[in-house]
Structure 1
Amino acid sequence: MSDALLLVGHGSRSEYADDVLPYYVDFFKGDFEEVVACYLEQEPCIEDALRLVKAQRVFVMPLLIAHGYHTRVTIPGALGIEASHGFAGGKEIFLLEPLGRSEHIVKIIKERIGEAKRTP
């Protein structure tokens, strides 16, 4: 069975946000047959990205900190599922938990604080 990873970012009009999802796509390419990025508020949208995926199983990772409207309504609706797991368009879809509470994120926050303290 072939697997794909669909990374869902919020999206931004800022040119500084354009390199984040491609970084993660490149990082995960060796772990899945397909790795695709899409956005909630810019193109490509979830529906379009999902149509491009040929894999039978799709793991959808919302790159969001916590559950909210997007993880409970927007993303499942765009995927055509009603819960964190379902079938749509001939694919088995797993909607993963958002980033949430993690010691790894705490470490990143501490790193950012350290960077700011070193800035003249």
Structure 2
Amino acid sequence: MQALVIVAHGSHLNPDSSAPTHDHADTIRAVGAFDEVKTGFWKEEPSLREVLRTVESDEAYVVPFFVSEGYFTEEVIPRELRLDGWDVSEWDSDGIDADHVTLSATDVGKTVHYCGPVGTHESMTDVIIRRAESVTDDPDVGEGFGLAVVGHGTERNENSAKAIHYHAARIREMDRFDEVRALFMDEEPEVDDVTDHFEAEDVVVVPLFIADGFHTQEDIPEDMGITDDYREGYDVPAEVDGHRIWYAGAVGTEALMADVILERAADAGADIGEAIEIVRERTRSAPATGD
């Protein structure tokens, strides 16, 4: 038997924070790729410390539903899961290369395949593009459009920005959009000045965040100037300084995220058959979770 365990941050304050995690777990559960699909959270129940105790399988594939490598993926999750012999050097990563490592959780008698976060997997690039397609309702969106991939950014952890730059660069290489930029909330170049960074009249803004919350629903819309008060909502597209801003909301709510989770588990050796192809087909016309 094999289990999939999706671990995420969660929130005591925002009940919607865990919604995408549960929704993607349901999608994966429906395709029958794993004997069990479980979710665990840092700030909600079931807790990271207890989630493996809810698993009956002897083998578990743990996928962090986080954007970047850092404190949670390198310290908190391995500690709370009590992974014997964990050493971050096992990943041999420079901030975006974490793949997987196989360890034991001897207190529960399980083999754990601990995977890198979803946010740095190459298939996340496809999700960002799908998000742009969803918000514009155009499966061919690209020509005549700019694309901004937005992250939090922080001087405290250089890895926070690496995933944003990584996916922006991959999309730029596809030569699909007229312009592609990586923008941030807390470091340069800032999303506040989004219109200064594009010549294209139409700009799709996709936040590389796991769930919609304070930053994606309040800070970013107000910072970009698409609304003066987030409580009054905003138009999509919204007119700002002669540009049309197509604001997509958190990428983690896109239905195709289930594919990235499966890709992480498959890379670690999970036997999932044709689940990835099935999920991609089923989510092609599905709305973003929470929409």
Alpha-carbon separation, structure 2, partners of 1:70 and 1:53? 21
Is 1:87 paired with 2:95? no
- 1:10 matched to which residue of 2? 9
Largest Rg, 1 or 2: 2
Q: For residues 107 and 37 of structure 1, do their structure 2 counterparts lie closer, same or farther at Cα, with a shift above 3 Å needed?
A: same
Indicate whether 1:20 and 2:23 are aligned.
no
Q: After TM superposition, where is structure 1 displaced by more than 4 Å over at least 4 residues in a row? A: none
Task: Give the residue type in structure 2 aligned to 1:97.
Answer: G
> How big is the shift at 1:47?
1.9
The match for 1:117 is: 237
Q: What is the RMSD computed on CA atoms of the aligned residues? A: 2.1
Distance 2:40 2:33 in 1: 18
Residues 13-61 of structure 1 deviation map (CA, whole Å, 9 limit, x = unaligned) = 2132342222122111111111111111222111211111010110001
Larger mean Cα displacement after TM superposition, 32-41 or 107-116: 107-116
- Which runs of no fewer than 5 residues in structure 1 stay unpaired? none
TM-score scaled by structure 1?
0.84
Q: Which amino acid in structure 1 is aligned with residue 237 of structure 2?
A: K
- Higher RCO (CA 8 Å, separation ≥ 6 residues): 1
8 A contact 2:3–2:61 mirrored in 1: yes
User: Which amino acid in 1 is paired with 2:110?
Assistant: K
In structure 2, the residue matched to 1:96 is 115
- Which residue type is aligned with residue 127 of structure 2? I
Partner of 2:36: 34
1:60-114 deviations in Å (ceiling 9; x for gaps) = 0111111010000001111112143211121000111112153223214524663
Q: Determine the C-alpha separation between the residues in 2 that align with 1:97 and 1:61.
A: 7
| Cα distance between partner residues in 1 of 2:76 and 2:18 | 22
- For residues 127 and 70 of structure 2, what CA distance do their matches in structure 1 show? 18
